[in-house]
């Protein structure tokens, strides 16, 4: 029997008003149908906005520490259901249950971090330029926030946006990603169980070009927080700019590891392999370029190819899989297209490059871990985000050449440097055009209490997570109190 999932609007579970649905399947076994989800449209967005606006009138006045307590409660429920949630997530996303546990844990971490900020939602006080006058700022919610997410970390991304948005007193409309809607539905159930009042959090399922676009255009939505591709980010940016709505975009990456001549090569290989290939490279912070000093290039590449070939590609249901499937046929074809065009442009495939077939591989979409050299920094494969298990190599003669190659990519999300040299490490922080830097670590591994996000094509607006998120989802109000019992003029030169 097919399971029918629902939207959640004003604390009611409901179908799309049109009655339309879409199907979601397990990427590790596309015969395994998870269920049917409402294919929402403009009218469902309108209903969610009405519910969210109504609920906002009361939610905004709940003291932030009380709002934080609801987040704690949600974190506790998530903790108690962690494995069950991970299984649901693994089935619809395709990563292993262990990988999915990490995704859920990241959400739990954010619940507790954002919850604790309820007693730390600080404004500032300052001395006035006048006598007997007091100056300070206080933070207030933005209003109704529309959240549009990606499928690759369905629990983590949903939590990283929703928890800080709620802590700041906003109402939220979540648009789930169409490949991972069930995880988002489970999250919404948990929030209701934790005691979130009706209408404060609403969920609509459906396609980006339909309900996603409608959410970005609705005048009752004060802010859009988006995680996804830079191309869709640009469309959303235009829609928000057209009506002066607040906006935060977390977009793609073309992240690099830089490996210097003094690097610990084994460590660098380990960091590069997990950064490039785990979950088939479908991370915004995946390592898709390795920029390697010529002195250690051959040693690095030899070890890298050995380790890449030893990776086990398999379904998320097999705990021993190192590399799990691509999310969809569309994504698989996209990655194969990039590999083919790289070959046509003269790049050389050192290992991998093909779709895997036979046995479990026929039940989903799998591509071998792929390493490519003979690449020019101007080539498409060197510049575009591939979002697959594909790594390109560059050989450089110096630190400064490494930085020049690094900064040629139009993206700037995360970067790592393998070296023992403290001078190079600190210079790297200054020299790279990027949002997150790591020394002697992979290009992923962001923590919930620290800001996350990128520059150039990788982001616009605010940083995600940490205190930056608390700033992003609130508005500063500046407050003056004059206790001089006179009308004072702030322009000093006008005073006698
Ligand atoms: P995508 O841009 O195709 O889709 C993202 C979301 O946008 C989906 O929910 C989709 O339904 C919605 N959408 C599509 N068209 C829309 C429109 N016209 N209006 C409104 N919404 C619309 O991206 P994807 O393929 O799902 O995810 C992969 C991308 O996400 C990669 O580029 C990856 O780097 C990026 N990503 C970034 C981060 C980050 O924090 N920087 C994290 C994870 C993923
Ligand atoms: Mn699916």
Is beta strand 29-38 parallel, antiparallel or unpaired with respect to 133-141?
unpaired
Q: Which residues are identified as catalytic?
A: 250
Residues facing residue 23 across a β-bridge: 36
Task: For residue 321, report the distance from its CA to the centre of ligand 1, in Å.
Answer: 26
Of all atoms in ligand 1, which is nearest to the CA of residue 216? 20
Asked whether 150 lines ligand 1 (CB < 6 A), one says yes
Task: For residue 441, report the distance from its CA to the centre of ligand 1, in Å.
Answer: 26
Written as six digits, the tokens of 376 are 């020019």
Torsion angles phi and psi, residue 65, rounded to 5 = -60, -35
Asked whether 92 lines ligand 1 (CB < 6 A), one says no
Residue 212's pLDDT is 98
Q: Which of 155, 218, 232, 454 to mutate to test the pocket of ligand 1 (most atoms within 8 A of CB)?
A: 232
Q: Which of 106, 154, 177, 228 to mutate to test the pocket of ligand 1 (most atoms within 8 A of CB)?
A: 228
Torsion angles phi and psi, residue 352, rounded to 5 = 80, -145
DSSP state of 143: S
| Predicted TM-score of the model (pTM) | 0.96
Asked whether 235 lines ligand 1 (CB < 6 A), one says yes
**Alpha-carbon gap, residue 189 to 85, rounded angstroms:** 12
Of all atoms in ligand 1, which is nearest to the CA of residue 453? 41
Residue 495's pLDDT is 54
Written as six digits, the tokens of 140 are 């207030």
Asked whether 94 lines ligand 1 (CB < 6 A), one says no
Asked whether 177 lines ligand 1 (CB < 6 A), one says yes
Name residues whose C-beta falls within 8 Å of residue 385's C-beta, 6 or more positions apart in sequence: 229, 230, 252, 253, 254, 288, 411
Residue 121's pLDDT is 92
**Alpha-carbon gap, residue 320 to 86, rounded angstroms:** 16
Taking alpha carbons only, the member of 190, 164, 161 closest to residue 174 is 161
Do the beta carbons of residue 106 and residue 153 sit within 8 Å?
yes
Asked whether 209 lines ligand 1 (CB < 6 A), one says yes
Written as six digits, the tokens of 34 are 């998870």
**Alpha-carbon gap, residue 344 to 388, rounded angstroms:** 19
Task: For residue 256, report the distance from its CA to the centre of ligand 1, in Å.
Answer: 21
Name residues whose C-beta falls within 8 Å of residue 340's C-beta, 6 or more positions apart in sequence: none
Closest residue to atom 16 of ligand 1, CA basis: 208
Residue 496's pLDDT is 53
Do the beta carbons of residue 115 and residue 166 sit within 8 Å?
no
Residue 493's pLDDT is 59
Residue 136's pLDDT is 97
- On the 0-12 / 13-18 / 19+ scale of CB atoms within 10 A, 312 is exposed
Closest residue to atom 19 of ligand 1, CA basis: 213
Do the beta carbons of residue 314 and residue 321 sit within 8 Å?
yes
Residue 489's pLDDT is 82
Do the beta carbons of residue 477 and residue 430 sit within 8 Å?
no
Asked whether 251 lines ligand 1 (CB < 6 A), one says yes
Of all atoms in ligand 1, which is nearest to the CA of residue 235? 18
Q: Which ligand is nearest to the CA of 235?
A: 1
Of all atoms in ligand 1, which is nearest to the CA of residue 228? 30
Residue 300's pLDDT is 98
Task: For residue 28, report the distance from its CA to the centre of ligand 2, in Å.
Answer: 9
Task: Please measure the distance between the N-terminal and C-terminal CA atoms of the chain and give it in whole angstroms.
Answer: 84
Task: For residue 7, report the distance from its CA to the centre of ligand 2, in Å.
Answer: 17
Asked whether 52 lines ligand 1 (CB < 6 A), one says no
Of all atoms in ligand 1, which is nearest to the CA of residue 207? 11
Digitized pLDDT (tens) for each residue of the chain, 496 residues in all? 799 999 999 999 999 999 999 999 999 999 999 999 999 999 999 999 999 999 999 999 999 999 999 999 999 999 999 999 999 999 999 999 999 999 999 999 999 999 999 999 999 999 999 999 999 999 999 999 999 999 999 999 999 999 999 999 999 999 999 999 999 999 999 999 999 999 999 999 999 999 999 999 999 999 999 999 999 999 999 999 999 999 999 999 999 999 999 999 999 999 999 999 999 999 999 999 999 999 999 999 999 999 999 999 999 999 999 999 999 999 999 999 999 999 999 999 999 999 999 999 999 999 999 999 999 999 999 999 999 999 999 999 999 999 999 999 999 999 999 999 999 999 999 999 999 999 999 999 999 999 999 999 999 999 999 999 999 999 999 999 999 999 998 776 555 5
Written as six digits, the tokens of 374 are 């003979």
DSSP state of 281: G
Closest residue to atom 30 of ligand 1, CA basis: 228
Residue 492's pLDDT is 63
Do the beta carbons of residue 388 and residue 362 sit within 8 Å?
no
CA 2 to chain centre: 31
**Alpha-carbon gap, residue 165 to 158, rounded angstroms:** 11
Do the beta carbons of residue 331 and residue 93 sit within 8 Å?
no
Domains in the chain: ranges and CATH: 7-251+458-479 (3.40.605.10), 255-439 (3.40.309.10)
Do the beta carbons of residue 253 and residue 285 sit within 8 Å?
yes
Do the beta carbons of residue 325 and residue 28 sit within 8 Å?
yes
Of all atoms in ligand 1, which is nearest to the CA of residue 253? 34
Written as six digits, the tokens of 96 are 């292993």
Name residues whose C-beta falls within 8 Å of residue 331's C-beta, 6 or more positions apart in sequence: 282, 365, 387, 388
Q: Which of 206, 210, 229, 465 to mutate to test the pocket of ligand 1 (most atoms within 8 A of CB)?
A: 229
Asked whether 412 lines ligand 1 (CB < 6 A), one says no
Torsion sign over Cα 18, 330, 464, 155: positive
Task: For residue 222, report the distance from its CA to the centre of ligand 2, in Å.
Answer: 30
């Amino acid at each position: 029997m097919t399971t029918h999932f629902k939207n959640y609007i004003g604390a009611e579970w409901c179908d799309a008003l049109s009655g339309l649905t879409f199907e979601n399947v397990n990427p590790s076994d596309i015969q395994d149908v998870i269920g049917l989800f409402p294919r929402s449209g403009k009218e469902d967005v309108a209903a969610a906005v009405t519910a969210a606006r109504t609920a906002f009138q009361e939610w905004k006045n709940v003291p932030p520490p009380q709002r934080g307590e609801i987040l704690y409660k949600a974190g506790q429920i998530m903790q108690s259901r962690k494995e069950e949630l991970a299984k649901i997530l693994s089935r619809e996303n395709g990563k292993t249950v262990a990988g999915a546990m990490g995704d859920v844990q990241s959400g739990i971490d954010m619940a507790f971090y954002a919850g604790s900020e309820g007693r730390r939602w600080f404004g500032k006080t300052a001395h006035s330029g006048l006598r007997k006058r007091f100056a300070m700022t206080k933070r207030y919610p933005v209003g109704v926030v529309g959240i549009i997410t990606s499928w690759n970390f369905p629990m983590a991304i949903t939590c990283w946006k929703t928890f800080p948005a709620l802590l700041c007193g906003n109402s939220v409309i979540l648009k789930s990603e169409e490949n991972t809607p069930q995880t988002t539905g489970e999250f919404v159930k948990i929030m209701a169980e934790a005691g979130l009042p009706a209408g404060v959090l609403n969920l609509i399922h459906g396609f980006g070009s339909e309900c996603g676009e409608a959410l970005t255009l609705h005048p009752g939505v004060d802010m859009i927080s988006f995680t996804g591709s830079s191309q869709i980010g640009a469309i959303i940016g235009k829609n928000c700019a057209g009506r002066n709505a607040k906006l935060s975009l977390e977009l793609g990456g073309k992240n690099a590891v830089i490996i210097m001549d003094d690097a610990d090569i084994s460590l660098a290989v380990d960091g590069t392999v997990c950064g490039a290939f785990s979950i088939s490279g479908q991370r915004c912070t995946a390592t898709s370029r390795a920029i390697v000093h010529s002195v250690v290039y051959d040693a690095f590449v030899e070890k890298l190819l050995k380790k890449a070939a030893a990776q086990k590609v398999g379904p998320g249901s097999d705990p021993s899989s190192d590399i799990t499937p691509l999310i969809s046929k569309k994504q698989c074809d996209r990655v194969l297209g990039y590999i083919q065009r790289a070959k046509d442009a003269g790049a050389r495939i050192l290992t991998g490059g093909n779709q895997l077939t036979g046995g479990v591989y026929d039940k989903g979409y799998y591509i071998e871990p792929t390493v490519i050299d003979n690449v020019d920094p101007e080539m498409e494969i060197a510049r575009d985000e591939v979002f697959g298990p594909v790594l390109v190599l560059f050989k450089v003669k110096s630190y400064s050449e490494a930085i020049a190659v690094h900064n040629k990519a139009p993206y700037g999300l995360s970067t790592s440097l393998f070296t023992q040299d403290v001078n190079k490490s600190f210079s790297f922080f200054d020299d790279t055009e990027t949002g997150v830097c790591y020394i002697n670590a992979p290009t992923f591994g962001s923590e919930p209490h620290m800001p996350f996000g990128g520059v150039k094509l990788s982001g616009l607006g605010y940083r995600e997570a940490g205190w930056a998120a608390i700033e992003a989802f609130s508005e500063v109000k500046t407050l003056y109190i004059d206790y001089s019992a006179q009308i004072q003029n702030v322009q000093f030169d006008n005073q006698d």
